[in-house]
Amino acid sequence: MTDTLADDLAAVVRSVPGVAAIYPRPGFAQLARSVIGTVTKTTPQVAVALSATQTRVELDVAVGPEHSGPAVARTVAAAVLDHLAARGAPGPGVDVRIVALG
């Protein structure tokens, strides 16, 4: 499930207007191991950590020049949370950082 979930989430994020690129978050795997205890998949774009009670998604995005960074971040977070909820993921959470504009 987690391989497909990470790939699906990358596609969801890429479909959000204003997302120019997705970047992996450095050090996520180590953080997830210490906080949750299990890392299930880290893709080149999206990091997903899954436990019995929590699904944590972290990613960094670049925003296109005609879009607002905060608005894109909110839309990305909402799209990811909606996707996790539709899949019945436990304790969904997402952290989106804007790392580049324009």
> The whole model's pTM is what?
0.81
96 contacts 79 by C-beta, under 8 angstroms: no
Per-block average pLDDT, block size 10, for the chain (102 residues)?
Answer: 81 97 74 52 71 94 96 98 95 95 84
Q: Which CATH architecture has domain 2-101?
A: 2-Layer Sandwich (3.30)
Each domain of the chain, given as residue ranges in start order, spans: 2-101
| pLDDT at position 79 | 98
Residues contacting 101, CB < 8 A, separation 6+ = 62, 63, 65, 69
Residues contacting 40, CB < 8 A, separation 6+ = 2, 48, 49, 50
Q: Give DSSP secondary structure letters for 56-88.
A: EEEEEEEE-TTS-HHHHHHHHHHHHHHHHHHTT
| pLDDT at position 36 | 53
Please give the structure tokens belonging to residue 96: 């989106």
| pLDDT at position 41 | 46
